[in-house]
Structure 1
Amino acid sequence: MGNRVIREDFEWVYTDQPHSQRRKEILAKYPEIKSLMRHDPQLKWIVSGMVFTQLLACYLVKDLSWKWIFFWAYAFGGCINHSLTLAIHDISHNVAFGNKQAKWNRWFAVFANLPIGLPYSASFKKYHIDHHRYLGGDILDVDIPTDFEGWFFCTPPRKVVWLILQPLLYALRPLYVNPKPITRMEVYNALVQFIVDLVIYYLWGLKPVIYLVAGSILCMGFHPISGHFIAEHYMFLKGYETYSYYGPLNWITFNVGYHMEHHDFPSIPGSRLPLVKKIAAEYYDNIPQHTSWVRVLWDFIVEDTIGPYSRVKRIFKLTDDKD
């Protein structure tokens, strides 16, 4: 085990993000993939079942001791909440009701947000668009750690702390790197969320609220499912900035592991991404991929070649120079 990450900066490149060109090539060869670009009618029922499961859990945990509150938050409720954040990720691409029902998608994301305990969906939507459009973009893609994160969290113990702090860093990083005006939908998201939190507190007390919030924070931090945060875009091999994972955890994460496929075709619901891989197999079978999110976390911690600096960055010019 190394003592310190040897990288001292990001991997700066001067090429466009690769997914736009790949998308053109794949569609030219397999135009039938366009038929997969439609909403997923099952998504709303699956998400609704998860939301109501968590509301039932709130009732069941109201009389538990605190140690069991945190145990079930980490082992059960937090897993559902993390899965709901990935449902919100899917919904942000309008796959719940289709592009013609954008408002329905936005409000359904607010509904999916309820068990998470803190408002999340509207802000995620606002920044996630930039992550796809400007993948690796300096300042624009707030999925990339800050220079401070890369400099400070450079040893195995510090990287463990960094993984634990992931929820906090994901929440605060956009406000520091690329702050945007608060939207009306973010206000609605917060109002609805806090009203529901207060109703749960009024009905069943503080423990169910802590169960929801603690589960979200714990399972988006140092948890096996959170391996996808590192697996998706951290550069484990030079020259590759997006990776897929095809293991069983996709069953409870809306196929977020099919991440190369997702960035190639963000308008295709997660439930149909395995079909993309099957149709265009030669584009996905022979590129680097992860086999375990737990192994990803382990390698991230112990390898001195990998750390928060292990990301590809590029400069995007957003305005035309008229001079």
Structure 2
Amino acid sequence: MGNKVTRGDFEWVYSDQPHTKRRQEILAKYPEIKSLMGPDHQLKWIVLAMVFAQLVACRLVRDFAWKWVLFWAYAFGGCINHSLTLAIHDISHNVAFGNRQAKWNRWFAMIANLPIGMPYSASFKKYHIDHHRYLGGDNLDVDIPTDFEGWFFCTPFRKVVWLVLQPLFYVLRPLYVNPKPVTRMEICNALVQFSVDLLLYHTFGLKPFVYLVAGSVFCLGFHPISGHFIAEHYMFMKGHETYSYYGSLNLITFNVGYHMEHHDFPSIPGSKLPLVSRLLSARYWILVCFVYLFQIFLK
């Protein structure tokens, strides 16, 4: 969406993002979906188990050669860290403890953040709400690549470079597109994260810290698990800039592939989005099949 008409590098529309209207229409026809909204009481235990697993991994990798530290960062630890970023995504919608205990969700997101190595959860929350409210909005939705990214990364090789550097763009893009004042929660997030990083370094040495940070960079960049970053809002068909993926990677990504369902109902936990998809199978699958046939036609 935007407010300019002279640029031909994006698809410009002037209506509200479609998910609000879709949500109203779907709830009018299927009011039982409201029963799926609310906290996921299993989420916090799953997150704590992943954080504990990374703590054990830190103990193990301190004796590894550097090449194996980086190998396991890519093959194992980074996958857990990527999954934790998607847990933080769910928690940002208050699905760990519910809307009535919003601050508990913020603090728990900082715990989920710990193995990632760098403070992330508070800033993500601040900008992700805008992504839902202003989906595709010019200078509002920081998930949309900048003009420079669209202009420069236009060849196959440069697109691969963009994928490798995607964590860097994900961090820097908000500061350029829609900078916001630093919040108290962001300061707390940084203090908690860096305190734990120092404790980790003091206890286990440098290798575990590199293992965590390198894993986050690897698996948020050029890695199969990162494919959802492209699939979520790739415009396969004009007028539909949200796309769902129903494959097996959802098992380790908190069902982030059910992305159309998520944007229709952001207050429903990822664990329950498959129930939404089954209930509305005709509505979602018709669009997905159309996109699939459209891709075949392009080939």
User: Structure 2 length normalisation: TM-score?
Assistant: 0.94
Q: Partners in 2 of 1:67 and 1:8 — Cα distance? A: 46
Identity %: 78
The equivalent of 1:200 in structure 2 is: 200
Confirm or deny: 8 A CA contact 1:247 1:291 kept in the other structure.
no
- Relative distance call for 1:133 and 1:117 in structure 2 (3 A) is same
Please list every run of 5 or more consecutive structure 1 residues that lacks an aligned counterpart in the other structure.
Answer: 1-6, 293-298, 300-304, 306-323
Confirm or deny: 8 A CA contact 2:237 2:291 kept in the other structure.
no
Q: CA deviation at 1:143?
A: 0.2
The equivalent of 2:74 in structure 1 is: 74
Q: CA deviation at 1:169?
A: 0.1
Q: Partners in 2 of 1:45 and 1:167 — Cα distance? A: 27
Q: CA deviation at 1:289?
A: 6.3
Moved over 6 A (4+): 289-292
Q: Partners in 1 of 2:11 and 2:65 — Cα distance? A: 48
Find the residue that maps to 2:232 and give its secondary structure. Answer: helix
Q: Partners in 1 of 2:204 and 2:38 — Cα distance? A: 40
Cα displacement string for residues 188-230 of structure 1 (whole angstroms, at most 9, x for unaligned residues): 0000000100001001100000000000000000000100000
The equivalent of 2:105 in structure 1 is: 105
Confirm or deny: 8 A CA contact 1:39 1:94 kept in the other structure.
yes
Confirm or deny: 8 A CA contact 1:93 1:267 kept in the other structure.
yes
Q: Partners in 1 of 2:169 and 2:182 — Cα distance? A: 19
Q: Does 1:257 align with 2:238?
A: no
Letter in 2 for 1:117: G
Cα displacement string for residues 75-117 of structure 1 (whole angstroms, at most 9, x for unaligned residues): 0000000000000000000000000000100000000000000
Q: CA deviation at 1:283?
A: 1.4
Aligned counterparts, 1:10-49, within 5 A: 10-49=10-49
Letter in 1 for 2:100: K
Higher RCO, Cα 8 Å, sep 6+ = 1
The equivalent of 1:160 in structure 2 is: 160
- Relative distance call for 1:255 and 1:162 in structure 2 (3 A) is same
Q: Compute the RMSD of aligned alpha carbons.
A: 1.7
User: Structure 1 length normalisation: TM-score?
Assistant: 0.87
Q: Partners in 2 of 1:186 and 1:55 — Cα distance? A: 23
Letter in 1 for 2:82: H
Q: CA deviation at 1:13?
A: 1.2
Q: How many residues align?
A: 288
The structure with the largest helix share of the pair is 2
Q: Partners in 2 of 1:110 and 1:272 — Cα distance? A: 23
Q: Partners in 1 of 2:216 and 2:245 — Cα distance? A: 22
Aligned counterparts, 1:53-72, within 5 A: 53-72=53-72
Cα displacement string for residues 51-72 of structure 1 (whole angstroms, at most 9, x for unaligned residues): 0000110000001001000000
